[in-house]
Amino acid sequence: MRTAKLIPLGSLRLRSLVFQLHRYLGLFCGFILIIIGITGSLLVFEPELEHQLIEHRIGAIVPQANLISIDTVVATVQAELKRAPNLTLGNILLPQDTTSPYQARLWDTNNHLVQLFIHPYSGHVMGMISEAESWLQIALRLHYQLLAGDTGAMITGIVGLLSFLLSLTGIVLWTGWRKLIAGFKIKWNAHPKRRNFDLHKVTGVVAAVFLALTGFTGFCWNFYDWSSALIYTLTLTPKPPELIAKPLPGQAALPASTILQMADTTFPNAITTYLGIPSTPEGVVRVGKRQPHESFRYGESELLVDPYTGKALRVQDSKTLAFGDRILNAFVPLHYGTFGGLSTRIFYVFVGLTPLILFTTGFVMWWYRKRKDVRVVETTGVGTIAKH
């Protein structure tokens, strides 16, 4: 005779506790996670979508022999800023292919982005796009701050942490720990209740690790000062000090072309992605570099330079970063899904859609359970007593 395998009472109570936590976390933050997930799926291919949007708004660029000097671009941007004193320059994105313009990223007094486009061969201003005119920028704001400013950023950051916990509890509850094949099986011909449960468990376990990663990295970014300090502390990594330049009396800042030549010497095999020009005399120049092994479009390496002396104040080479900085750098490919090229980016589109699937199937599971509880109450007569 086969004897039934007894499950310890403590394990049942723990599983019940995890189940309750998982259920109410999902119900509590599910709707916001759907918004974050759908916009995230869209933003996976932000570079390609932005290229199409820019080309549609300002026109196509015909490749020519030589790019204009970065000094000409800086002078053009500074001339535009004199006509729009409410804007400040963040950085200048350099063309990454022969059909892309120079892009100056400007910020207004409300911290909203204004994109200024300069023709890479003629140097003329092709046009400007404000954040309100770009559906892609609106989707980005919706993704990380729900179009609600700092308050929205705090809410989405907290929801990111809850998503991390939701994923962990889902992994714990996964039925595949008892029987692996059953954990990945969907019984399409079964009762709708069972089919809904199977769809929830399989979708959840496939996406759980990646939902946990995107939720955790999103939380860390939205609470960056706190999270980065904690990571530096836990990894025993010294936090990089704030850098300031030393203006020299009667001496102007070095030309941007000179600084870019220095950056090319420091990173000879890398592509220059952006030039960050300081808005104050004490600010330092930042030069973004993308090395061959880096997947993020803006690169993961950076050179910080004193604009008056040309001295390299800090070289952030992704190959030689301290442990804490490597963790922070890893957030980018893990959040955007660029670590495996096109295949992982496509998979991240699915990951972004899973909150909608999981919330819908989870809600159906909750509804079935609620209906069952109501029937039990009515059968035992408690419902009749409650009516009186």
Tell me the pLDDT tens digit for each residue of 367-387. 877 776 555 445 555 444 333
134 φ, ψ to 5°? -115, 110
pLDDT in tens, 95-122: 999 999 999 999 999 999 999 999 999 9
CA angle 6, 204, 348 (to 5 degrees): 155
How many of the other CB atoms lie within 10 Å of CB of 314?
Answer: 13
Does residue 262 surpass a pLDDT of 90? yes
pLDDT in tens, 117-149: 999 999 999 999 999 999 999 999 999 999 999
Domains of the chain, start order: 21-67+146-238+322-375 (no CATH), 240-319 (3.10.450.40)
- Asked if 273 contacts 299 with a C-beta cutoff of 8 angstroms, the reply is yes
Quickly count: other Cβ atoms within 10 Å of residue 3's Cβ. Answer: 5
Helix axes of 70-83 and 256-266: crossing angle, nearest 10 degrees: 130
What is the pTM for the complete model shown?
Answer: 0.86
